[in-house]
Amino acid sequence: MMWFWLIPLIPGASALILAVFGRLLPKKYVSWQACLSVLASFVISLISFFGLLRVPAESLPVVKTFFRWIQSGQFSADLSFQLDPLSSIMTLVVTGVGFLIHVYSVGYMAHDSGYKRYFTYLNLFTFAMLILVTASNLVLMFVGWEGVGLCSYLLIGFWFDRHSAANAGKKAFIVNRIGDAAFILGLFFIFLNIGSFDFRAINAAVAGGGVTTAAATLIAILLFAGATGKSAQLPLYVWLPDAMEGPTPVSALIHAATMVTAGVYMVARMNPMFTHSGVAGHLVGLVGALTAVFAATMALTQNDIKRVLAYSTISQIGYMFIGCGVGAYAAGMFHLTTHAFFKSLLFLSAGSVMHALSGELDMRKMGGLRKYLPLTYPVFLVGAIAIAGVPFLSGFFSKDAILTHAFAERQYFIWALGVMGAVLTAFYMFRLIFLTFFGEERLDHHAKEHLHESPPVMTVPLIILAFFSVVAGYAGLPLVFGEKANLFSRFLEPVIHTGHGGGLSINTEWFLILISVAVSLCGIYIAYVFYRKSPQTPHRLVARFPAVYKLLYGKYYVDEIYNAVFVNPMVKGSEVIYQNFDLKVIDGTINGTAGAAGFSGKALAYLQSGEVKDYALAILLGVVIFIGFLVFG
Amino acid sequence: MIPVSYFFVLSLVLFVLGIAAFFIRRDLITMFLAVEVMLNAANLAFVSLARSAGSTAGQVIVFFIITVAAAEAAVGLAIILLVFRQKKSIKAEDMNLMKG
C-alpha cells in the first residue's frame, strides 16, 4: 500500500535499462525483464487495491509527494503520486491487461528484428500510462498524457520502413497534438481560476463554489477537446483506424489498456468540474453517443479485420463518454474496465488469426477457420459475445448500466443512439465472426500451407482474457439485483459522485434490460441472416442502395474531407510560404549578410600588399599622427 | 658637463637615420641593421636621461633592451638565412607571400 508509487516506476526503470543496455542483453533476458516488470507492477497494484479497501473514505486519496518539481512565481507543481479507487482500478487494468499483452508479444514478435526496441517502447508506454493514472496533479498527468502520445507514435510507426506505417504514426501524433493544444489551454484556465493543479485543490475549489459555471464550462470543454484527441472521438478519431499499421499487440495495448482510455479516465477524474458545468457534461454525452453510432456504421462495411475492431473501439469509447456525460461516471469506468478485457482479447485473437494466416488481414480471404484454430475461435467468440452485449457476459452489464443511466437522466435521444449503436455492434461483430470462422474457405494457397494454431505463449493470455471477459461484469450488477449489488460503483463512491439511478422503478429497469438483450440478439440474428442463411442479402442491399454503401465503405470520406479542408491548404500554404518567405526573405537575409562580408573582405584585401615596407610605412604614419596628436592636440 | 639635450639630438639623428635606412635599403640584412640602429638610439636616450635624473631605472631598462636585441638578432638572422635558402634572395620585395 505504501509502495504504490512503485507501480509506474518499475516499468519505467525497466524501459530505461532496456533503452540503454538493450543492445548488450540477450533476447531471452529482455523478454523476461519486460514482462516481469509489468507483472511486479500488477502485483503491487493488487496489494494496493486490497489495502485501499481498508482505508476510510475520509483519508482518501493516499498521496506520496517526492519533492517540489516546478516553482515559478504563483505556479507550482509537485512530483507526487496519489492512489484512490479510480486510480487503483486504472492501475489494475493497465498493468493486468498490459502484462498479458507483454506475454503475448513474446510469441507474436518472436521473429521481428526490432524485438528489443519493441519491448523498450512497450514498457515505456505502460510507464507513461501509469504516470497518467497515478499523478496527483494535472501537470504530472500531462507528462503521462504526452508520454502515451509519444509512445503511440513510436509503436504505430514501429515498422517505419513501411511508408504507410510511418505516415500512420505521424497522423496519430499530429491529431493528438490538436487535442493536446486544447488540453493545455484548459490547464491555463484552471490555473487562472483556481491557481493550483492539484486534484484535491481543484475539487475543493469546485465544491466550494470557487469556480463560476461559465469558467467550469470553458475548462471542461477544453479538457474534453483534449480527450477527444486521445480517446479518438468525433471529430478527432481519424488517427485510430490508421493506428492498425502498428504490430497487433500494440493495437491491443492502445485500444484496451492504455492511450484511448486516458480521455475517459481524465473526464472521470475531473468529474466535479463536468458536473458543476452541466452543459459540458451534456456535450460529452452527446459527442459520445454520436461517435458510438457514427463509428459503428463505419465498421459495418470494412473488410480489414483489425479496422472493424478499430471502429468498434471508437464506438465503445463513445459509450464510456455517454456514461460520463449523463453523470454515471462509475458506469463509464465500468465499461472501460470490461472493454479493456474483451477488446484486448479481440485484438490479440485477431492477431492470432493473422499469425496463423501469415499476416492476412482481409476477411474476404478468410472463412472456415473454425476447425483450423480450435483455441482462437472460442476465445474470439467469447470476446464477440461480450462486446455484442449478450446477457451474462461482461459487456452486457456495463453497456446496460450506461444506457440505464442515460434513460434515467431523461437523455432519451442519447439513449436511443446508444441502443442503435448496440444493434450495430452486435451486427458487425458477428459479421466478422461469420466471415472469418464460418462458411467456405477463401484462403490463399500460400496462407493455407502455413496455417497453424499459435504457440501457448500467445494462447494462454487469450484464455485468461476470455475468462475475465466473462466474469468481469459481475463486479457491477444492475440495480435490479439489489442496492448493494454494484460493487464497482460502491468502490468508486469516494471519488465519484454516483448516479443514483434517477429513481427508476424496478419494472422500468427490467424493461430496459430486456430491450438491451433484445437489441443485441437482434443484431446477431441480422448478421446470421446476412452472412450465413442467405449470403446474397448483403449484395442485394448494396445493389439497392449503392450510394449508402459507398458512403460507408468510404468511411464517410472524413479523411478526404479533412485532407481537402485542413491538410492540403496547410501543405499548399506552407509551400507558398516556403517559396516566398523562407527562400526569399530568410535565405536572402543570410546570403546577403555573407555576401556583404565577402565583398568588404575583398575590398579591404588590397590594403594587405604583403610588402614589409608598406606595413612599416603604415606604422610610421600611425606613430607620426599619434605624436602629432600628443604634441599639437 | 654636456647638456642632456645634445644626447637627445644625437639620439634623434640616429633614429631618423635608422628609419630612412629601413625604407631606402632593399636587402633584409641592411634593414635589420637599421632596426638595430633605431634600438640603440632609444638606448642612448634612456641612459642619458637616467644619468641626468640620477636614477638607475633607465639603465636597467637598457640592459633589458640589449638582451632582447641580442636574442632578436639571433632569431632574425636565422630567419633571414632560412629565407635565403628557400628563395635564393634576401630582397624585401620578394617576400610577398602574405599578399591579400
Q: Name which residue leads in pLDDT, B81 or A536.
A: B81
**What average pLDDT score do residues A198-211 get?**
86
Which chain A residue is nearest to residue B98, measuring alpha carbons? A610
Say if residue B14's pLDDT is above 90. Answer: yes
Q: Give pLDDT, residue A482.
A: 67
| pLDDT tens by residue, A143-165 | 999 999 999 999 999 998 889 99
**What average pLDDT score do residues A454-478 get?**
86
Which chain A residue is nearest to residue B99, measuring alpha carbons? A610
Nearest to B96 among A605, A610, A616 (CB): A610
Say if residue A496's pLDDT is above 80. Answer: no
Q: Give pLDDT, residue B77.
A: 93
| pLDDT tens by residue, A344-359 | 999 999 988 888 887 7
Say if residue A502's pLDDT is above 60. Answer: no
Q: Give pLDDT, residue A173.
A: 92
Q: Give pLDDT, residue A498.
A: 55
pLDDT band at A497 (very low <50, low <70, confident <90, very high): low
Say if residue A204's pLDDT is above 90. Answer: no
Asked whether the beta carbons of residue A609 and residue B99 sit closer than 8 angstroms, the reply is yes
Cell numbers of A336, please?
Answer: 472501460
Q: Name which residue leads in pLDDT, A556 or B39.
A: B39
What is the residue-averaged pLDDT of chain A? 87
Least confident of A24-38, A274-288, A486-500, A570-584: A486-500
State how far the Cα of B57 lies from the Cα of A560, in Å rounded to an integer: 93
Q: Name which residue leads in pLDDT, B86 or A555.
A: B86
What is the residue-averaged pLDDT of chain B? 90
At a CB cut-off of 8 Å and minimum separation 6, what does A276 contact? A206, A211, A213, A216
**What average pLDDT score do residues A319-324 get?**
91
Asked whether the beta carbons of residue A608 and residue B100 sit closer than 8 angstroms, the reply is yes
| pLDDT tens by residue, B50-76 | 988 888 888 999 999 999 999 999 999
- Which whole-number Å values give the CA distances from A276 to A187, A206, A216, A271, in the listed order? 17, 7, 7, 8
Chain A contacts in chain B segment 42-71 (CB below 8 A): none
| pLDDT tens by residue, A612-633 | 888 888 999 999 999 999 999 7
Q: Give pLDDT, residue A67.
A: 87
| pLDDT tens by residue, A88-143 | 999 999 999 999 999 999 988 888 888 899 999 999 999 999 999 999 989 999 99
Domains delineated in chain B: 4-88 (1.10.287.3510)
Which residues in chain A have Cβ-Cβ distances shorter than 8 Å to B99? 608-611
Q: For chain A, give the percent of residues with pLDDT over 90.
A: 36
DSSP letter for A473, please: G
Asked whether the beta carbons of residue B23 and residue A617 sit closer than 8 angstroms, the reply is yes
**What average pLDDT score do residues A159-179 get?**
90
Asked whether the beta carbons of residue A616 and residue B22 sit closer than 8 angstroms, the reply is yes
DSSP letter for A535, please: T
State how far the Cα of A527 lies from the Cα of A577, in Å rounded to an integer: 52
| pLDDT tens by residue, A387-405 | 988 888 888 888 888 888 8
Say if residue A361's pLDDT is above 90. Answer: no
B80 interfacial to chain A (CB closer than 8 Å) = no
State how far the Cα of A52 lies from the Cα of A45, in Å rounded to an integer: 10
- Using CB atoms within 10 Å of the CB of residue A593, give its burial: 0 to 12 exposed, 13 to 18 middle, 19+ buried: exposed
ipTM of this predicted structure: 0.82
- Which whole-number Å values give the CA distances from A393 to A381, A396, A415, in the listed order? 12, 6, 21
Based on C-alpha coordinates, what's the Rg of chain A? 30
At a CB cut-off of 8 Å and minimum separation 6, what does A260 contact? A230, A231, A232, A240, A254, A313, A317
CA A162 and chain centroid, separation: 22
**A593 Cα to chain B: minimum distance (Å):** 21
Cell numbers of A380, please?
Answer: 474470439
Q: Give pLDDT, residue A455.
A: 84
> Residue type at A249?
P
State how far the Cα of A231 lies from the Cα of A251, in Å rounded to an integer: 13
Nearest to B96 among A606, A609, A616 (CB): A609
| pLDDT tens by residue, A214-230 | 899 999 999 999 999 89
Q: Give pLDDT, residue B62.
A: 93
Which chain B residue is nearest to residue A608, measuring alpha carbons? B100
Q: Give pLDDT, residue A76.
A: 85
Which residues in chain A have Cβ-Cβ distances shorter than 8 Å to B92? 611-613
Q: Are A306 and A250 in contact (CB under 8 A)?
A: no
pLDDT band at A503 (very low <50, low <70, confident <90, very high): low
